[in-house]
């Protein structure tokens, strides 16, 4: 099984300089590759394979006088840049993934480089090629073979390393018999972090809301500055810092929430299409909502996998908010400000979001059964074993 940890690292000034150049080389490979492929695509309507064709160009470039400086960087990192570009194009061409056309990487954005040969890690250091040990804060020990290190630098200038380990431990086999009482449907929104089919609402905490407000304010201030001015770069840094605070707080929260949800259940059902539909108006809201939903789903997914549990993504559109979960009656359009309603057919009172979560759960159970799993409907009252619910 693969396990990843992310740690903060503290390169010296010289190391940071080297990393800066290396990030530049990685970015250069990605962007140049993208330029070459876009040209080919536009002119001839055909796609090159970044994996095969561009990787072959690397050694040629390194021998040339103009691009000889690429030799300074870890060659695996440059190859990985080509692979990443390849993946970006795959996401673009795959109708299921609906990725946008790959975009150029900016030197102002987050930087990263991937290393998989000659990587090591100790108690308070990590080692990547072409550099001495970099001081690090390793907060958690992972048994296993270190497979790769991905270095990143945030917009605010902090360095991190993601360490990927291969452990001896095998991933548990996926559960085959699922207790319907331990299937949870999640409805995710902007007003709440998540609402589950049992009727629990996980609110966005106050500090997160405040951080988001602060971010919005800083962003507005940035938009008022003049392009290319010194004030603009100052404002940009403030936005990046506010952004980082929001992201860290949210990340923390999502780890706790996903841990709790996965520990308490055997299958978790989420809806993935809604993300795109619901936040068309407010760009910032869309940005925040988008990023956080995908991140939460990703956390639920790997935590579920670690325990042999299931995460079901419902990617086909269905009217989760407009369908009565009790009798399946489908009502007409319902504006976002309608928070509760009564089913005209069976007169059940619905909380909009809880009803949606219940429909998501039902839809998920259908999908689990379609995958050949058994989902028992008798809840926590199983005869054998001790179920915490029965207790």
Contact 50, 86 (CB under 8 A): yes
| Strand order from edge to edge, sheet including 111-115 | 111-115, 145-153, 159-166, 2-10, 134-137, 125-127, 120-121
Judged by beta carbon, residue 284 or residue 327, the one nearer Zn ion is: 327
Judged by beta carbon, residue 288 or residue 324, the one nearer Zn ion is: 324
Q: How far apart are CA 55 and CA 71, in angstroms?
A: 14
290 is catalytic: no
Judged by beta carbon, residue 298 or residue 345, the one nearer Zn ion is: 345
Judged by beta carbon, residue 126 or residue 324, the one nearer Zn ion is: 324
Q: How far apart are CA 254 and CA 183, in angstroms?
A: 19
Contact 244, 155 (CB under 8 A): yes
* Residues contacting residue 226 through CB under 8 Å, at least 6 positions apart: 232
Catalytic choice (86, 179, 187, 196) = 187
C-alpha dihedral, 102 to 108 to 110 to 112, nearest 10°: 80
177 is catalytic: no
Q: What do you get for the CA distance between the two ends of the chain, in Å? A: 33
What residues line the site for Zn ion (CB under 5 A)? 324, 326-327, 329, 343, 345-346
Q: In angstroms, give the least distance from the CB of 352 to Zn ion.
A: 14
In the chain, how long is the greatest CA-to-CA distance? 77
74 is catalytic: no
Q: In angstroms, give the least distance from the CB of 327 to Zn ion.
A: 3
* Active site residue ranges: 187, 271, 353
């Amino acid at each position: 099984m693969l396990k990843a940890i992310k740690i903060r690292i503290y390169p010296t000034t010289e190391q940071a300089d080297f990393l800066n150049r290396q990030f530049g080389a990685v970015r250069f490979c990605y962007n140049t590759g993208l330029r070459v492929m876009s040209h080919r695509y536009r002119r001839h309507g055909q796609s090159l394979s970044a994996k095969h064709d561009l990787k072959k160009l690397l050694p040629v470039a390194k021998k040339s006088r103009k691009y000889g400086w690429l030799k300074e960087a870890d060659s695996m990192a440059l190859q990985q840049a080509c692979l990443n570009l390849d993946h970006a194009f795959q996401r673009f061409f795959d109708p299921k993934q609906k990725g946008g056309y790959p975009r150029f990487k900016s030197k102002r954005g987050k930087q990263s480089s991937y290393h998989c040969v000659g990587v090591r890690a100790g108690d308070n250091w990590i080692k990547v090629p072409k550099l001495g040990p970099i001081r690090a804060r390793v907060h958690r020990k992972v048994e296993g073979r270190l497979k790769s290190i991905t270095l990143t630098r945030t917009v605010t200038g902090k360095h991190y390393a993601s360490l990927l380990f291969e452990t001896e431990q095998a991933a548990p086999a996926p559960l085959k018999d699922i207790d319907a009482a331990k299937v949870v449907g999640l409805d995710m929104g902007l007003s709440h972090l998540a609402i589950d089919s049992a009727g629990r609402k996980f609110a966005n905490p106050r500090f997160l809301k405040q951080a988001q407000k602060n971010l919005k304010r800083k962003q507005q201030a940035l938009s008022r500055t003049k392009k290319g001015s010194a004030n603009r770069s100052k404002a940009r840094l403030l936005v990046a810092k506010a952004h980082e605070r929001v992201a860290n707080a949210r990340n923390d929260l999502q780890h706790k929430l996903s841990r709790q949800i996965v520990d308490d259940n055997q299958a978790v059902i989420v809806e993935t299409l809604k993300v795109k539909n619901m936040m068309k108006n407010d760009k910032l809201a869309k940005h925040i909502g988008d990023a956080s939903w995908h991140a939460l789903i990703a956390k639920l997914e790997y935590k579920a996998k670690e325990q042999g549990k299931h995460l079901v993504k419902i990617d086909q559109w269905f009217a989760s908010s407009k369908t009565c979960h009790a009798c399946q009656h489908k009502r007409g359009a319902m504006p976002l400000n309608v928070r509760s309603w009564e089913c005209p057919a069976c007169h059940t009172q619905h909380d909009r979001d809880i009803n949606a979560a219940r429909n998501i759960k039902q839809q998920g159970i259908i999908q689990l059964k379609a995958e050949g799993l058994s989902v028992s409907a008798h809840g926590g009252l199983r005869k054998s074993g001790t179920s915490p619910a029965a207790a």
